Amino acid sequence: MSRANPHMRHFAKRLIVYETMENKSSATKPPAAFHVCEKLHAHMATFMGNAGFRALLARALVLATTEVPWLSAVQVKADGALEGLEELHTQLNPDELFEGGMVVLAQLLGLLVAFIGERLTFRLVSEVWPKFSLDEMESENRGNNENRGKNEKTK
Amino acid sequence: MAKPAKVKIHKLPTGVRGLDDILGGGIPEFSFNIIAGSPGCGKTTLAHQIVFANATQQKPALYFTVLGESVMKMLRYQQQFSFFDESRLGKDIRFINLSDVVLEKDLNAVLEEIIKQVKAVNPGIVVVDSFRTVVRRAMSGAGEAEMQSFIHRLAQFLTNWEATTFLVGEYDEAEIRDNPLFTMVDGIIWLSQVAERNSVLRKLQIIKLRGQASVPGLHTIRISADGLQAFSRTLGLTGEKMKLARHRRHSIGIPELDKMLGGGILEGDSLLVAGPSGTGKSALATQFIAEGIRKGEPGIMAIFEERPQGYTQRAGTFGLDLKAAIQKGTLETLYLRPLDLSVDETMQEILDAIKRIGAKRLVIDSLVGFEMALAPGFRADFRESLYRMIGALTGAGITILNTVEVEDTFTELAFSHYAISFLTDDIIRFRYVEIDGQLRKVMVVVKMRGGNHSKDIREYVITNKGVVVIHPRRTDYQGLITGIPQRTGPRRAQETEAAPEPKATK
C-alpha cells in the first residue's frame, strides 16, 4: 500500500525545495530528496539505530519503485545510505530524478506517519530543519481532518 | 553544638497515581533502580511515566533502548497514553539507541557510549530498556566478574553524575537471589501478572528500597489510557485524620427506626442491614441517603446489583428526589459491575467519589454484589480490604450503611454469610415471618456499639413512603425471629383478603 498520498507528496516537495534553497545545491545532482533522507538518517539513527532506519528506508524504496520503476536500480547500503544513483544521472532527465526522489521521500514520511503519527513525524522533521515551517502542513492536516469528519457525518 | 543535619534524600514523583504512597513518598533521588517483571506487565510504560513526570529541559531524561522493543514501536504505542506529550521529545526526553554498540562491541564500549551521552546531556533521569538484553549479549563474551564490574562502574558513574537510574528488564523471581544485579541496585520495583480463572491480575511489589520505608506487600495495578495506576494496600488512607468524638447522631429517615436506634446512627458508624431478598434493604438505604441530602450531608451510593436508574425511580415513588441531588452534585451513584475489578481499585473509586463531593454518608448496596464484581483472585482479599476501607472511612467520620443479603432459615437468625460483625458498629436484621397466614416483615436492631438500642422486634411495611415501621412490638406471638412464631395471645380482628401494605409502584 502506497504511503505517498498527496499530502505526503506535498510535504516531501516542500522539504526538497527547502533543502535545495538551504544548501544552494542542485535539486537534481544527486537529487536533493536523497540529501533529505541522509539528514533524516543521521538524526533518526540516534534513537532507532542504523538497522532500524535502514529497514524503514528500504521499505520506502520498495513502495516507491512500484510507482517509479527506475528506482529499482537504487539500493540501500548497509550503513543506510542510498547507492546506484550515479549511473542514472546520464539516463534520466532532471524532472524524472526529482520525481523519483520525491516519491521515495514521500513514502518514507508516509511510513513514519503510519507508525508514529503526524505530530511526532513533524516534530522529528522540525528537529532536523528547525526553521522549516510546518504551519502549512499542520493547517492542511487540520483541514483534511475536518473534511474527513464531515464526510463521516454525511455517510 | 547542634549535631550536623542528616542528608535529606529528595523523592521524585513517579507520575503513577498511588505509587508514590506505596514507595513512601516517591523514588529516592540519585538512586539506581531496577524495574523488573515478566513481559506485558507494564515495565516500559512505568519507565515512561517516570520520565514524563520528571524530565525538564535543564535536567532531561535519557532513554537508552537496547534491542528489545524498537523505538518506533515504543513511540507508536506509548503515545496512546494521556501522559505522553510528544512536544517534549528531543528536548526534555531523548531516546538513544544502543543496539549497534551492544551488537558490535563489548561492555566497555557500551559503558563508554552511555558515559559520553550522559556527559553531553547531563540528565536527571536515565533509563536503560532493556538492561537484560545488554547483560545477555555481554555475557556471551564476558565473565560474571566482568559483568559485575560493568554494573558497578555504571551505577557509580550515574549516581555521581546525579542521575536517578532505572534499568528495565525481564526477570524471574528466582533470579533475585542469585543475580548480583539485585544486590547492587538501591530499589527493585517488581511487576507481575497472574491469570486467575478468566481474569488477569496485575500486581506491583517494592521488593527493596534503600533509604526509606515503602508499603510492603503486593499492590494491584491497572493499565488504562492514563498509563499505570497503583492501588496501595493501605488505600492511601494511613495519613487520614481520625475523628475521635462521635456525639452526633444521623437520622436514618424513618422516625420509628431512629427511636429504635436510640436517636439515629452515630456519626462515623458502619451499619449493616441484613435480610433476605425483597425485605427493603435498598429502600432503607435510599431513605438513609435522601435524609442526609435533606440535611445537607452529601452522599455516595455504591451500587453493585441494581441499576442507578432503578434506584432513582424507586426513590421517586417514595417522594424522594435523588435526580435533583445528583444534578446538584450532592449525590453520586457509582454503578460498579465489571467482573474483573480488584477490591482496591473499587474502593479507590468510592474514596475518589467521597473526596469529590465531600460525602458524609455512604451506602454500599450490597456486599454480596461487591464481592461478585471482583475478579476471582481478589475475592479472597475482600474481607481484609473491606475492613481497611471501612475502618479508615468511619475513622474519618463518614457514616456507612452496608446491605447484605442473607437467606432466612427457620432455625437461626443469621446476620451474614461473612464473618463481618467486626466490620460493623450496628446491625439491623430484616426477616420474613408468617403471621396469620401472611408473609410479613419484621426488623430488629441486633447491635449498636455506641449505645443502647431498642430490643423490640417491630413489624414494618414498604409503602409509597418507603420503609415504615408499624405497630408497637407484638406481644401476642412468641418465636418471631424463627420466622414461624407461635401465637400466645388473642387473634386480632382483621380483614382476611386485603394485603397489609399498599405496594410501591414503579
Owner of C-alpha cell 536523497: A34
pLDDT of residue A91: 82
Chain B positions touching A45 (Cβ under 8 A) are 97
* A contacts of B95 (beta carbons < 8 Å): 46-48
C-alpha cell at A13: 516537495
**Chain B residues contacting A, CB < 8 Å?**
65, 70-73, 75-76, 79, 86-87, 89-90, 94-97, 99-100
Closest CA to B400 of B279, B285, B293: B285
Q: Model confidence over B302-326: pLDDT tens digits? A: 998 778 888 888 889 888 889 999 9
Q: Test A116 with B90 for CB contact under 8 angstroms.
A: no
* Gyration radius of chain A's alpha carbons: 16
Contact list in B for residue A47 (CB cut-off 8 A) is 65, 71, 94-97
d(CA A43, CA B92): 16
Q: Would you state the cell numbers that stand for residue B131, as one nine-digit string?
A: 538492561
| pTM of the model as a whole | 0.76
Tell me the chain B residues in contact with residue A56 when contact means C-beta distances shorter than 8 Å: 72
State mean pLDDT over A133-147: 65
What phi and psi values does residue A60 have, to the nearest 5 degrees?
A: -60, -40
Give the residue on B whose Cα is nearest the Cα of A120. B86
pLDDT the model gives residue A88: 77
- The chain A residue lying nearest B71, using CA atoms, is A48
Distance from CA of A123 to the nearest CA of B (A): 7
CB–CB contact B95 A47 (8 Å): yes
| Consecutive H or E run containing B165 | strand B164-170
C-alpha distance from B306 to closest chain A C-alpha (Å): 36
For the segment B27-81, what is each residue's pLDDT rounded down to a tens digit?
Answer: 999 999 999 998 889 999 999 999 999 999 999 999 999 876 778 888 999 999 9
- Pick the closest to residue B171 from B141, B145, B207 (CA basis): B207
Higher-scoring residue by pLDDT: A147, B96: B96
Q: What is the C-alpha end-to-end distance of chain B, expressed in Å? A: 78
Question: CA triplet A101, A103, A105: central angle to 5 degrees?
Answer: 70
Tell me which residue in A48, A50, A120 faces B70 most closely, judged by beta carbons. A48
B77: closest chain A residue by CA = A116
Q: What does DSSP say about strands B457-463 and B438-448: parallel, antiparallel, or unpaired?
A: antiparallel
CB contact under 8 A, B97 and A52: yes
Contact B65 A47 (CB under 8 A): yes
Mean of the pLDDT values across residues A127-136?
84
Q: Which of B76, B86, B52, B278 is nearest to B166 (CA)?
A: B52
Strands B227-231 and B218-224: antiparallel
The predicted pLDDT at position B506 comes to: 45
Query: What pLDDT does residue A155 have?
Result: 41
Low-confidence stretches of chain B (pLDDT beneath 70): 1-2, 68, 137-142, 235-246, 337-341, 409-422, 492-506
Pick from B73, B86, B97: CB nearest A120: B86
- Mode of pairing for the β-strands spanning B187-196 and B32-37: parallel
What is the structure's pLDDT at B280? Answer: 94
Mean of the pLDDT values across residues A14-35?
77
CA distances B65 to A138, B42, B54, B97, B161, Å, are: 30, 16, 19, 5, 20
3-state secondary structure of B433: strand
Q: How many CB atoms lie within 10 A of CB B484?
A: 10
Q: Which residues pair with B170 in a beta bridge?
A: B37
Question: Distance, in angstroms, between A48 CA and closest chain B CA?
Answer: 6
Q: In terms of pLDDT, which residue wins out, A60 or B148? A: A60
User: Who contacts B439 (Cβ-Cβ below 8 Å, separation ≥6)?
Assistant: B432, B433
Return the HEC string of B230-290: EECCCCCCCCCCCCCCCCCEECCCCHHHHHHCCCCEECCCEEEEEECCCCCHHHHHHHHHH
Q: What pLDDT shows up at residue B126? A: 97
- Whether residues A46 and B86 touch (CB distance < 8 A) is answered with no
CA separation, residue B84 to residues A47, B79, B164 (Å): 17, 5, 20
pLDDT in tens, A80-119: 888 887 777 778 888 888 899 999 999 999 999 999 999 9
pLDDT at A154 exceeding the cut of 50: no
Selected residue of A116, A119, A127, A134 to mutate for chain B interface (largest B Cβ count, 10 A):
A116
Contacts of B279 (CB under 8 A, 6+ apart): B430, B431, B432, B441
Residues of chain B with Cβ-Cβ distance to A116 below 8 Å are 72, 75-76, 79
pLDDT at residue B476, as a whole number:
77
Q: How much is the pLDDT for B409?
A: 67
Rounded Cα distance, B100 and B37, in Å: 25
What pLDDT score does A148 carry? 53
